[in-house]
Structures are given as C-alpha cells and as structure tokens.
Amino acid sequence: MSQDRPDVSTLTPLISPRSIAVIGASDDPKRIGGRPLGYMIRGGFSGPIWPVNPKRDTVQGLQAYADVASLPSAPDAAIVAVPAPVVADTLEALADKGCKGAVVFSSGFAEMGADGAKLQDRVRSVARAGGIRVLGPNCLGIFNARCNWLATFSSSVDHLLPKPGPVSIASQSGAYGSHVFHLMRQKGVETGIWITTGNEADVDVADAIAYLAADDDTKVIVAYAEGIRDGDATRAALEAAAKAGKPVIFQKVGRSEIGAAAAASHTAALAGSDRIYDALFAQYGVMRVDTTDQMIDAAYICSRGAYPDGNAIGLMTISGGVGVQMADAAIDYGLDVKEMPADTQKALKELLPFAAVRNPVDITAQAFNDLSLITTNMRMMLDEGGYDVVVAFFTMIAASRYIADDLIKTLQETRERFPDKSIILSLIAPPEIVRHYEEGGYPVFEDPTRAVAAAAVISRFGRFFARKIEAAPPSAPSGAKPVPSRQIGEHEASDLLESWGVPFVDRRLVTSAHEAEEAVKALGGKAVLKIASADILHKTEVGGVVVGVTASNASAAYDGLVTRVAEAAPKAEVDGVLVAAMAPEGVETVIGVQNDPTFGPVVMVGLGGILVEVLEDVSFRLAPFGVEEAKRMIAELKGAKIYGGVRGAPPADVDALAELLSTVSVFAASEGARIESVDLNPVRVLPKGEGCVALDALIVPR
C-alpha cells in the first residue's frame, strides 16, 4: 500500500505553510468556517491569509476572494469547510491553483456509509492526481504553534492559543487529540504540532509520525490510533523516529478484542490482532500506553529530554511506607532497586541515625530541619550508589515556597555535579510551587508510584536508544527454494524450509516397505513413519502416522499405514511415506508465521503444550528481524525460564532457537507474498550447544 505514498517532504506545505487560504470562511468566529480564522488572526499567522467566500468582500476584517481561482497566488495550504459533495471539486480547484495541502473539516464521507465512501475515494484520487496532500475529511484539523497555523475548530485551543513546545501529537481522533492536548497543557507541557487525521483519505498517522520524526523542533511524538491500515508505512515511520532518537508514545486502542478471540495455537486467528501491535512497538522501541494518565505522564517526563541508559533506580523518601511502595512499583516496571554500597550506607547512617539507608533510603521528615542533609544524601546516592535515576518523595512538606527555594538550591548543587542524572520529585504543592521545582530542573509527580513509572519510561527509552541497531539479517541463502503456488505436504515443506536454513530431523521419503525398513536402519533403528501427501494436512486423522517404528516392524508399519490412508483418503495423491529419525529430548516449542493483512509476515514463538494452548503464552515479531531481537522475543514468554532448565532438565540452546527464529523471519519476509501461514510444530530445543530441530512443518500457500 505504501508504494503510492508520496514522500514525507510533500507534507511540509500542509504542516508548515507560508501562506494559507480558508475555503468556506465565515465572518462569525464561532462557526466552524470562522474559528480557525479567528484563532489565526488572534495568534498572528506568520504569512498571508486568504479567505474565500463568494458572498462577502471581507471576512473577519480580511479581504475575501470569490473563489479559489481568484486567489492572488497559490496558497501553501488551505482549510476546506464546505459541504461534502463539493469537497473534491474544491480540492481540484486548489490543486489547479498550485496549492499543496488541504485540511478538510467536512464530514459526510466514509463514516456515513457507502455513498460517503465513494465521495472519499474521489477525494483521495484528486489528492494523488493533483499533488495535493489532504488531511481528513471529517477531521478536527491541525495546528503548528511555531507559525500559528491554527487550522482547527477544536474548542480546546479557544481560551488559550497553543504555544510552541517539544511534544507533537498525531491522533486519528480529533476529540481525543483535543483532550490529550488540553491535559498536557494543564501539566505544563506545550504541543508544537498537533495533527488529527480523521478519515485518513490521504494523510494518516504514519505520515504524521514520519513528518514529526524529521521535524527538528519535535522532540517527543505522541500518537493515538484506533486502527492502522498501512503496516509498511507505519513501520518506516517508527523506524525513522527511532533512528532520530525521538521517543514515540503510542496509544493504540482496541486491545480487548484479541483477548477473547485469539487462540494462540492457531496463528491464523491472530491476523490483524492487537498483539501484533505489541510486537511492532517492541521492535521499534515504542512505548505503548493504555490510559490517558500514562500518556500524559510519559509525554511530560520525555519532554525533559533526559534518557538514562541504565535501569538502576535510587529511591529517597521521608516515609518508609512510601519507600516500600515505590520499590514495589520499581520492580513491577523492571527497574533495579539495587542496594547502596555498604560503605555509603555506613556513612549515611552516621549522618542520619534515624534513616533507613539501604535503598529505599528513608531520611524521615527530620531531614527538613537541615536541608543540607538532603543534598549530602542525594550526592551520596548519585555519586556512590551508581543509580541512573533517583526518585525522591517529599509529600506536602516541600510545598512551602520557603522550603522549595532552599530545596531547589540544594538540589541544584547535586544537579550540577551530576548533569546526566535524572532526579524526579514526588510531592504535593500548589501549581506555582510545582512550576518552581520544574523550572529548577525537576519533574514533579503527586503520586509516588507514577513518579517511578516515569523513571521507568525514560530508562526504557534510554536503553533502547543506547542499543546498537542490529544489522539486517542475511537475506535468502543460495539454493533457497521458493514456495510454490500449490498445496505441499510435510516432506516438501521440510525440504523447502531446510533450504532456507531450518534444521530438521533426518528423514527419507520411501515408496515401499523395503525402503522403509532400510530407512529405519539408516536412521538409527528407530523412527516415525508419516504419510507424504500434499492432500493430507492432518496426518493423524487418517491414520497416517506411526511412532516408535523399528527395523523389524518397519515393513508391516509401512503397509498398514498405506492401507489405512488409502481407505480414509482414497482421492489423496500420495508421494510416499516419510521416515523420520527420532528427535533427541528437548524443550517443545512452537514456531509459526502468519501473514497479517496490515503488517505482512509475522513470526510467532511459544512453548509447546498448555502454555500455548491455555495461557496463550506466545510472542510475536514482524519479519524480518535479527538474532538479538529474537532473543528479546523469547525472553518475553512468561514461561521463558523453562529454557533455563527446570525439573532437572539441562539449559536449552536458546541461542540456536533465536537463530532459527531469525532464519524463519528471513524466509517469511522473502516469501511473504506466497505464504498464508507456516507452522513448525513442534520444534525441539536441545541442550545448550546442541541446537534445535524441527519435527514437522506445514506451509499453507496463499
């Protein structure tokens, strides 16, 4: 789908226009066609504004034009607030004039059914044909606070126009985008660029993210989507943001559908499932948030721009209980609540006999009698504790201006000594005191566990940004066989996958009882016999599998098997019988590939048995990916420690499993157009150093 997507640079006139027109401009600053004009006149848009209104000479005091053709020159961008049926014609006129971007407020398109969808298709065609990028229709618009391009009728900007800030927002929903903008502003975080995409006839959230990734003034990207149609473009946009070192905070709603619907053992059921978004976000370091609070908190802490690349957290508190609470939360978030060094604990205990000094460090409220104790303590934590981030809980004791001034000064000394360390405060104070701390360089949260969550957010991004970008996995090996466009049986599927590097047990295709006996002998004297036919996918159901076959009974087993299958599936074309060696003991694992309609081939891994079937304990990645990513994918499994060796079993060869997953991902990415799904079930992961081996393979061609 992204083939016909114009380059991201084509969005510049739409998002940062130097001149603009308003089609359907109203003289009434309360009406939809009048609001943006009113906002821009108040805010002072940095270029000319040309209202188009055939009935008036002036609109809100500006010279008006009768139609698009009459405009003095081509506007970079235009607002379109005209009835749905004339939107496409208006866009055509704008394109003819040379306009490069349009914001379409009008509703009455795809959201209203089939007739509207047709109108929307025409909007898209006009946009592509005319080289004009279109936002909407049925959207709340856009603003760019840096040039006061305020092309929105959202009431959220009404009482106070936006001011440039480090965070930009890309939201499918206008109402929710406004809600988030408003809350961020309440928290003191200003939004530079705000884009709501509505029906996405042309510009979508992926476009918006791609633009913001390249926009120098945007430091943090906040995104909201209900559904994504173009997986490739989304991946490219997220990759661009990751490469630019910009955190992306993404709220993708609609989680709950999956929970009920998807049985993890059937990768087919997972197509388009919400869990694929988890995979996407994991791969590109995106922080997924489920609630508005999480989104605002993450945007707030990221707006400060510090991303420690470790996960050691120091906790300072004046209430022991809150210390425990913060430690609980830190461990939940995967942070390392490591102890202070013994010497430091001793020194601190001398300084503050009442204090608990391990970590959390409880300095008790007594420290407020002598603020220098806080400085000293903080210095010791940062200097000797080796923490990447410190959260300090002061409750309402730090709320007076008198204490705030002193505390900021004392914290400042610490800050100067450790410019790279993040220090987050948790306290309750009136807004003006909170601002005072913030201006002093300290982010503030009321809730101590939310402060810890914020520490986890920046540590997570810091570690992601510090991670060496993994080289793309090697492409198809020489001799790799393509997937044919017909159904194939296990024996063909395993040969094919073997040509891509997937290890299988030794096996022979035989066509007589005698050959079967010879094959069993050659394979070590014990084997499994399986019917080899492209027409038979469920071999056990037709009596097509015999296990534990030895040389002495191989001949009989062969004959029995062939007879049973001939009876049960008389029409099946049989290629013979596959004689497969017994696999060594190992950890049963399932690997699957599913062709997701949005994101293409997705690789799944899970532990065999009830972990997959009952607990849906599987993890996903979009193909292709490297070995390191595969290791993270394995580590996400709740049952991952089974690979470490449980119930007396030796540790399994997780490295080999990671290699195999990466190999499968290369196959999936290369052959994606020809496969519907692949199952390697089971794969046995052998003891460390011995690799892993697939026992069965199923390829469903597209």
Q: Shortest approach of a copy of itself to residue 332 CB, angstroms?
A: 7
Instruction: Decide the pairing of beta strands 675-685 and 692-694.
Output: antiparallel
Task: Work out the end-to-end distance of the chain between its first and last CA atoms, rounded to an integer number of angstroms.
Answer: 18
C-alpha span between 391 and 448 (Å, rounded):
8
Q: Is 283 helix (H, G, I), strand (E, B) or coil?
A: helix
Q: Shortest approach of a copy of itself to residue 590 CB, angstroms?
A: 14
Tokens at 154, concatenated: 């959202």
Q: Shortest approach of a copy of itself to residue 469 CB, angstroms?
A: 32
Instruction: Decide the pairing of beta strands 675-685 and 587-596.
Output: antiparallel
Q: Shortest approach of a copy of itself to residue 258 CB, angstroms?
A: 10
Tokens at 89, concatenated: 């014609």
Residue 317 or 459 having the CB closest to a copy of itself: 317
Cis preceding linkage at 624, omega within 30: yes
C-alpha span between 633 and 470 (Å, rounded):
14
Q: Shortest approach of a copy of itself to residue 657 CB, angstroms?
A: 17
Tokens at 367, concatenated: 């420290």
Residue 208 or 329 having the CB closest to a copy of itself: 329
C-alpha span between 286 and 246 (Å, rounded):
10
Question: How many Å separate Cα 335 from the centre of its chain?
Answer: 20
Q: Shortest approach of a copy of itself to residue 40 CB, angstroms?
A: 21
Tokens at 105, concatenated: 């407020």
DSSP-derived letter for residue 541 is G
Residue 241 or 289 having the CB closest to a copy of itself: 289
Tokens at 388, concatenated: 């990447």
Q: Shortest approach of a copy of itself to residue 339 CB, angstroms?
A: 14
Q: Is there a contact between 254 and 273 (Cβ–Cβ < 8 Å)?
A: no
Count Cα atoms within 13 angstroms, Cβ side, for 392: 27
Residue 131 or 259 having the CB closest to a copy of itself: 259
Q: Is 577 helix (H, G, I), strand (E, B) or coil?
A: strand
Q: Shortest approach of a copy of itself to residue 589 CB, angstroms?
A: 13
Count Cβ atoms below 10 Å from residue 230 Cβ, excluding itself.
19
Beta-bridge mates of residue 236: none
Residue 349 or 702 having the CB closest to a copy of itself: 349
Residue 269 or 396 having the CB closest to a copy of itself: 396
Q: Which residues of 111-138 are buried (b: 16+ CB within 10 A; e: fewer)?
A: eeeeebeebbebbbebbeebebbbbbbb
C-alpha span between 272 and 258 (Å, rounded):
9
Q: Which residues bind a copy of itself (CB under 8 A)?
A: 111-112, 155-156, 172-176, 178-179, 182-183, 186, 224, 226, 251, 253-256, 259, 290-293, 318-322, 324-325, 327-329, 331-332, 354, 365, 395-397, 428, 446-450, 610-611, 613-615, 638-639, 641-642, 646-647
Q: Shortest approach of a copy of itself to residue 447 CB, angstroms?
A: 5
Residue 173 or 267 having the CB closest to a copy of itself: 173
What angle is formed at CA 252 by the lines to CA 247 and CA 254, rounded to 5 degrees? 165
Sign of the CA dihedral with 496 first, then 500, 504, and 507 last: positive
Q: Shortest approach of a copy of itself to residue 178 CB, angstroms?
A: 7
C-alpha span between 646 and 648 (Å, rounded):
5
Q: Is 596 helix (H, G, I), strand (E, B) or coil?
A: strand
Residue 611 or 652 having the CB closest to a copy of itself: 611
Residue 160 or 471 having the CB closest to a copy of itself: 160
Q: Shortest approach of a copy of itself to residue 437 CB, angstroms?
A: 17
Q: Shortest approach of a copy of itself to residue 515 CB, angstroms?
A: 34
Rounded to 5 degrees, φ, ψ at 53 are -160, 110
Q: Is there a contact between 504 and 694 (Cβ–Cβ < 8 Å)?
A: yes
Residue 318 or 569 having the CB closest to a copy of itself: 318
Residue 60 or 172 having the CB closest to a copy of itself: 172
Beta-bridge mates of residue 248: 221
Query: Phi-psi category of 420—alpha, beta or left, where left has phi over 0 and alpha has psi -120 to 50?
Result: alpha
Residue 96 or 226 having the CB closest to a copy of itself: 226
Q: Shortest approach of a copy of itself to residue 609 CB, angstroms?
A: 8
Residue whose token pair is 């020489």: 478
Residue 73 or 155 having the CB closest to a copy of itself: 155
